[in-house]
Amino acid sequence: MTTTNSTYTSGTLIFSESFEESGITGSGFQVFDEADPWNTNDWDVETTAGIEIQNGNVGGTTGGSDGTAHAELDTHGNSTLSKISKIINTPNDTYTLTFDYMPRPANQDDSDMKVYVGEESFVVSSDNNGVVSFVNSTSYQVLQTTNANGWTTFTVVMTDTAPTTEIAFEGLGTVNNQGAYLDAINVYEYDDLTAEGGVISVNAGDEATWHLAGSGDEGLDVTFSIDGTADAEGWIDVGNGKVKLTDSATGEYQFIADETATGNSSFTYTVTDDLGQVTTGEMVVDIGAPDDFYGAIEDIVLDDGLSVSQTGNITLSADGKTISSGANSWF
C-alpha cells in the first residue's frame, strides 16, 4: 500500500538516531567506523566504506532534518557504498519505522537508498530534479511525506512483527563520494487494537441505540463497520432483527428487533485504525417479550383456583401445579 503526505509518530518511542553524537564542531564531515564515538546506538557498519557524518553547512545542506548533523551513504574516499544495520526488539504486534531522506543536492539522480525491514526491503530514489519516489516491494504499508525543509519523511508500518526486527540502510548508485542523505531514524511502538464486543438487551419490536466497543493506541483514530450487506437505507439483516451503523467514527448504531422475535440475535463488527490494524468483535442481543405483553396479562380471565403472578417471568398456578414461561417466550 502506498500513501503520500502521511506520518505516524504518536506511539511510544523505543529507538532514535539523529547522528548528533559525532563530535564534529562547526561545518565539516568525517568518515567513521562502528567503533567510533558517534555510534551510541551500536549500529553494525557492514562495509569498508564506513559511515560519513556531515555537520552544519556542508554537502549542499545547512544541517540535518532534526539538528545539525546527518549521515551520507556514499562516503568520501570510499571504494564501496555504505550500509548500516541495527536489530530492534519488537515483541509486540505493531511498530512504525520513520526516517528522513534527501538526495545529495549536487547529484540528485544518483542518490538512491535501499531500506531493509526484517526480511523485506524497498528502494527510495530521486530524479535529477529532486523528485523523490519509492517502489514498495514489501508487505508493509509505506507512507511518504514531503517536508518544507527539503527532507522527505518515510514511515513503514510494521505489523505482526517477529520478536526482533533488523532495520538497515544501504546506499545505491555509483561509488563517487556523493550519495543518499539519511537522518532522524525512529521506531515507535503501538498498543494493540481491540474490539471488546458485548451483550445488549431489547424487547421484541423495539428500537434502541448503542455504541460499539473498540479502542487503539492513544493518538490514532479508529473507525467502525458492521459486517454484512446493507440495504439502500443502511440496514443489515442479522436474524431476529436488523442493525445499522449511524456513526463510523464513534461506533454508534441502531438495532430494531422483529416484532415476533424470540431468543437472541448477534452480529460482528470490524475496528480499523490509522495504521491499518484490523480486529473484529461480536455483539449478542438478548430479545425479551414485547413491552405490551405483560400488560395484556391483566385481560386474562381466570377460573376459581387459578392465579397469575409477574416477577419478570409469567407463572400460572392451579391446584398446587405451576407452569412457568420464561421472559423470552410467550403465548
Task: Output the pLDDT for position 160.
Answer: 81
Mean pLDDT for the stretch of residues 128-132 = 94
Give the domain CATH number at 281: 2.60.40.10
Mean pLDDT for the stretch of residues 213-226 = 90
Assess if residue 331 is contained within a domain: no
Do 165 and 237 belong to one domain? no
Last residue of a domain, one of 190, 221, 246: 190
pTM of the model: 0.76
Q: Which domain holds residue 110?
A: 2-190
Give the domain CATH number at 158: 2.60.120.260
Assess if residue 34 is contained within a domain: yes
Do 256 and 301 belong to one domain? no
Do 145 and 206 belong to one domain? no
Cα separation, 171 vs 73, whole angstroms: 5
- Please give the DSSP secondary-structure letter assigned to residue 91: -
Do 178 and 257 belong to one domain? no
Task: Output the pLDDT for position 316.
Answer: 52
Do 48 and 71 belong to one domain? yes
Per-residue pLDDT tens digits for 270-315: 999 988 889 999 999 999 988 655 554 454 555 555 555 544 455 5
Helices (H), the chain: 293-296
Task: Output the pLDDT for position 102.
Answer: 96
Do 63 and 160 belong to one domain? yes
Q: What percent of the chain shows pLDDT beyond 90?
A: 70
Report the 10 Å Cβ neighbour count for 209. 10
Assess if residue 330 is contained within a domain: no
Cα separation, 293 vs 204, whole angstroms: 10
Do 75 and 159 belong to one domain? yes
Residue-averaged pLDDT of the chain: 87
Q: How many domains does the chain have?
A: 3
Residue 321 pLDDT > 50: no
Do 160 and 47 belong to one domain? yes
Cα separation, 161 vs 273, whole angstroms: 17
Return the higher-pLDDT residue of 34 and 9: 34
Do 170 and 303 belong to one domain? no
**13: burial class by Cβ within 10 Å (0-12, 13-18, 19+)?**
exposed
Do 130 and 46 belong to one domain? yes
